[in-house]
Amino acid sequence: MSQLVRPHGGGELLPLLLQGEALAAERARAQTMTRLRVSSRERGDILMLGIGGFTPLDGFMTHADWQGVCDGMRTASGLFWPIPITLSASASAGIRTGQEIALEDPDDGSILATMLVTEVYAIDKAHECASVYRTTDLEHPGVRMVMEQGELNLAGPVKVLSQGGFPEKYGELYMTPAQTRALFTELGWSRIAAFQTRNPMHRSHEYLAKVAIEVCDGVLVHSLLGALKPGDIPAEVRTKAIGTLVQHYFMPSTIVQAGYPLDMRYAGPREALLHALFRQNYGCSHLIVGRDHAASAATTAPSTPTTSSTTCRRARSRRRR
């Protein structure tokens, strides 16, 4: 029987997406609430909270959490977390502590979630940018995301009501952590390497995935389906290219291709850590990390993963035996 790595924090998956009667009741209640339209990045965070990808978080971070994550990559409770998961609002919205609000999709205005606001606070945006992105340059796409936020952050637990149309758009390619864990268990896998990508796989990527297969049970090629900066390859093109590789260049039953709903933040090493963290929730025990993982440059040279030398030595030794 497959023995998968535990979700982040050591407990069980914590999906916040309501179902059945609870979903219908909360959707009805949401119609009476003050509405707040979220950003594309915030929508991705809501969806990850909904499907359990951000286990064990139950909502958006407090000021103490924000400060601890910026300065030491830990929440106020001591949980390792490398990038703040926050929700912003303008001061003119007039949202108060103790209020329940409905969070709207930035594209069509549908209600994604409801939230109990437990804290309203201001942050030093430049401090977040310097800590997380190591720059305050407004040309950096992640810095621009932070600087364009509202003046205030809202903390509190959420109840998620929607998956934002991703299942309908991407079909079986879109998988939740519960679904990948069930699939890995069915396959008998317990050591799974995740390969993060926002671009089609080139030959070095193909080689690295095959090396990982030699020391793991299989590889999850996990493609970002959310928003990207201009110049990056759209998910529809990228996933078709990866699908061709899976069909023609990898051994059957060694690769699973799936997607997830986040936007890229382009936070470099901190985003690599976030990618490793939530892949643990998806059931992965290892992550293939590139030299310029989550870099903001428009183009980067084919990268050699920082973890590849040990992996390759193990693989060569295994072949010799």
For residue 198, indicate whether it is catalytic.
yes
Mean of per-residue pLDDT scores for the chain: 90
**Contact assessment for residue 29 and residue 153, using Cβ atoms and an 8 Å cutoff:** no
Same structural domain for residues 204 and 248? yes
* Residue at a domain's end among 166, 198, 221: 166
Q: Where are the beta strands (DSSP E) in 67-110?
A: 87-89, 100-104
Question: Which residue type sits at 314?
Answer: R
What is the predicted pLDDT for the residue at 309?
34
Domain with residue 198: its CATH number is 3.40.50.620
Same structural domain for residues 158 and 179? no
What is the predicted pLDDT for the residue at 304?
36
Q: Is there a domain that residue 13 lies in?
A: no
Query: pLDDT tens digits, residue range 73-111?
Result: 999 999 999 999 999 999 999 999 999 999 999 999 999
Cβ density class 71-81: b for 16+ within 10 Å, e for less? eebebeeebeb
Q: Is there a domain that residue 2 lies in?
A: no
Mean pLDDT throughout 261-269?
A: 94
**Contact assessment for residue 40 and residue 263, using Cβ atoms and an 8 Å cutoff:** yes
Same structural domain for residues 184 and 103? no
Q: For strand 218-224 and strand 255-260, is the pairing parallel, antiparallel, or unpaired? A: parallel
Domain with residue 36: its CATH number is 3.10.400.10
Tokens 């290219």 belong to which residue? 241
Mean pLDDT throughout 217-237?
A: 90
Same structural domain for residues 105 and 204? no
Q: Does the structure show a pLDDT above 50 at 176?
A: yes
Sorted by sequence, the CB contacts under 8 Å of residue 154 that are 6+ apart come out as 36, 60, 87, 88, 89, 95, 101, 115, 117, 119, 120
Six token digits for residue 157: 């637990």
Which of the four pLDDT bands, split at 50, 70 and 90, describes residue 319?
Answer: very low
Same structural domain for residues 251 and 298? yes
Same structural domain for residues 202 and 68? no
Q: Is there a domain that residue 4 lies in?
A: no
Q: Does the structure show a pLDDT above 50 at 305?
A: no
Q: Is there a domain that residue 250 lies in?
A: yes
* Residue at a domain's end among 166, 201, 232: 166
Sorted by sequence, the CB contacts under 8 Å of residue 11 that are 6+ apart come out as 55, 56
Q: Is there a domain that residue 246 lies in?
A: yes
Among 6, 74, 134, 199, the one annotated catalytic? 199
Q: Is there a domain that residue 1 lies in?
A: no
Q: Is there a domain that residue 15 lies in?
A: no
Cβ density class 23-47: b for 16+ within 10 Å, e for less? eeebbeebeeeeebbbbebbbbbbb
Same structural domain for residues 176 and 114? no
Range(s) of the domain holding residue 144 = 20-166
Same structural domain for residues 147 and 181? no
Query: pLDDT tens digits, residue range 102-129?
Result: 999 999 999 999 999 999 999 999 999 9
Cis peptide before 56 (omega within 30 of 0): yes
Same structural domain for residues 103 and 199? no
Same structural domain for residues 229 and 125? no
Mean pLDDT throughout 177-187?
A: 97
Six token digits for residue 295: 């870099």
What is the predicted pLDDT for the residue at 276?
96
How far is residue 146's CA from residue 87's CA, in Å, rounded to a whole number? Answer: 10
Sign of the torsion angle spanned by Cα atoms 134, 139, 142, 146: positive
Same structural domain for residues 301 and 185? yes
* Residue at a domain's end among 110, 140, 166: 166
Among 198, 238, 265, 270, the one annotated catalytic? 198
Q: How many domains does the chain have?
A: 2
Q: Is there a domain that residue 8 lies in?
A: no
For residue 153, indicate whether it is catalytic.
no
What is the predicted pLDDT for the residue at 252?
85
Same structural domain for residues 189 and 254? yes
